[in-house]
Structure 1
Amino acid sequence: MEFSEPGSELTFTFTVRGIYFGIKGVDAFPLEPRAEEIPVQYTPDEWTDLAGYLRPHAEDPDGSVAAWIKSFVAGDQDRTTDVLRRILKTFRTDFGYRGRDVEGTQSPGETLRSRSGTCRDFVWLMIETLRRLGLASRFVSGYLYDAALDGGAVGMTGSGATHAWVQVFLPGAGWLDCDPTNNLNGGFDLIPVAIARHPGQAIPLAGSWFGDTGDYLGMSIDVAVRKISDVSDPSEG
């Protein structure tokens, strides 16, 4: 866009309305027997479709990520749903959320070393963890609805803004949502917008601008969830 003269304000407003059906918990759907324990046994057809989500993409030069991953399945700890819960709990208890303005996503090794990062950083580490355990997983960008914000309270980390989480494919259940930032699995609060095999393929906003250092550059998001019965015309969703 080119403008003929300077202006005091530039605002972009997007309104998106959709219908989304959530699932609560990793046990909401029974797994097929071949998915109950790690390694999950995918069929040849599944391998063909999931190949891009099974291959690790990040380097692990010092082996720290591999060593960390082994702790989740050490001994007789190979039940798939238990491993997922263990990973999510570890992010919640051992990692600290840290926002930053630097573009891009940290490497899994950096997130592991610092035990801190953004939701995208946590997701990328978890994806690489799941892939090295033989689980197909993909990156999801969207929004986190938090009922606490409706009353003006402090909500969950990432609520009221763009958010990222993981989807893991388990035969019998399909693609399950897992949010390492908030220790969530499944549920009705994660609203997907974009799905990709790598964080770089799901950039929420990109571009450049010229202005003074004191110019305000920000973004606000309001996410509201209503029951289907409250939607006057579902065809508009």
Structure 2
Amino acid sequence: MARLEVVHTTEYAYRTPVGLGRHRLMVRPDESHDLRLHRADLVVAPAPARTTWKHDIFGNSICFLDWSDATRTDRLTIVSTLDLTHHPDGPPLPRYILEPQAEAFPFAYAAGERADLGQLAVPQEPDPDGTVAAWARRMLGEAGSSDTLDVLAAMTRAIKAQFGYRARYEEGTQTAADTIRGGSGTCRDFAVLMMEALRSFGVATRFVTGYLYDDTSGGTVGGGSTHAWCSVYLPGAGWVEYDPTNGLLAGANLIRVGTTRDAAQASPISGSFAGRPDDPIGLHVDVSVTYAPIHGA
């Protein structure tokens, strides 16, 4: 259990004052058995004329910011501050109990689960050359076990070992096949690779966006900004989180903010402006995660 403060700052700079279109934010987690949200503050400058909270198709909390037509600015600053307590599944890493039909990989879902999981268990990217499917089969062979939990742990650690982390601040992800061919990527790319590899076996996965904390391993990457990983639906255990960027299992260092079918649906902050194409001159993102005392613990 950890009491944490997360400060997520995003700053946009423009060459000349621009108008601001609607912005969409995914920065507030929903409370659950593994996360208690004590406080969530949002400070925006210039202040929007209207702030609206909704739930998206996946049930994530989404904030929409709208400014008046008269608003013009050469800088937009958005600061989200969260005070929360996180209850991860570990330590030590839990040994999940799976339903018998899911203990050996690959496995098949029951008809009812298959109907509800739908597109989450189907590859979302074209793989005409079979690059991703071939890589996934090779990982299955190299796992040295048919135990489902062992296979997933081996795939998570193989991505960390085989691919180089390369920060990229532009929006979007590269395809799983491009990650394999290029040998490097971002946390978003690695999450998509693991998702598409597992979906090639009919295993349901979700893209997860959030924050990384507590670098106890001495070698985690992805801090200082938003982070991305994936969750896998395992009958008997439910949704279990895997961070292939850092080889982390069970979400012990991961603060989940939102889950989606596709990476493009999980942008922490997106929006538009009215101005010239060359007006944007800077984007700065900073995430700090600090420990707060737990009173009475």
TM bucket by the smaller chain?
A: 0.7 to 0.9
Tell me what 1:49 maps to. Answer: 116
* Structure 1 residue 156 displacement after superposition: 2.0
Tell me what 2:60 maps to. Answer: none
1:67-106 aligned within 5 A: 67-74=134-141, 77-106=145-174
Structure 1 residue 177 corresponds to structure 2 residue 244 = no
Distance in 2, Cα, partners of 1:56 & 1:77: 24
Tell me what 1:230 maps to. Answer: 295
Tell me what 1:38 maps to. Answer: 105
Distance in 2, Cα, partners of 1:34 & 1:26: 22
Query: Percent of pairs identical after alignment?
Result: 40
Q: Provide structure 1 residue ranges, at least 5 long, that are not aligned to the other structure.
A: 149-153, 233-237
Query: Which secondary structure state, in structure 1, belongs to the residue aligned with residue 198 of structure 2?
Result: helix
Conservation of the 8 A alpha-carbon contact between 1:146 and 1:155? no
Tell me what 2:270 maps to. Answer: 206
Normalized per residue, which structure has more strand?
2
Query: Letter of the aligned partner of 1:18 in structure 2?
Result: L
> What is the aligned residue count?
226
Tell me what 2:89 maps to. Answer: 23
Structure 1 residue 13 corresponds to structure 2 residue 79 = yes
Structure 1 residue 128 corresponds to structure 2 residue 192 = no
Conservation of the 8 A alpha-carbon contact between 2:208 and 2:228? yes
Distance in 2, Cα, partners of 1:26 & 1:9: 44
Conservation of the 8 A alpha-carbon contact between 1:145 and 1:225? no
Structure 1 residue 186 corresponds to structure 2 residue 250 = yes
* Structure 1 residue 19 displacement after superposition: 3.6
Kindly tell me: are residues 5 and 102 of structure 1, through their superposed partners in 2, closer, same or farther at Cα, counting changes over 3 Å?
closer
* TM-score (normalised: structure 1): 0.83
Cα RMSD, aligned residues only: 2.7
* Structure 1 residue 3 displacement after superposition: 8.1
Kindly tell me: are residues 103 and 231 of structure 1, through their superposed partners in 2, closer, same or farther at Cα, counting changes over 3 Å?
farther
* TM-score (normalised: structure 2): 0.68
Q: Provide structure 2 residue ranges, at least 5 long, that are not aligned to the other structure.
A: 1-66
Which structure carries more relative contact order (alpha carbon 8 Å, separation 6+)?
Answer: 2
Query: Which secondary structure state, in structure 2, belongs to the residue aligned with residue 220 of structure 1?
Result: strand
Structure 1 residue 138 corresponds to structure 2 residue 206 = yes
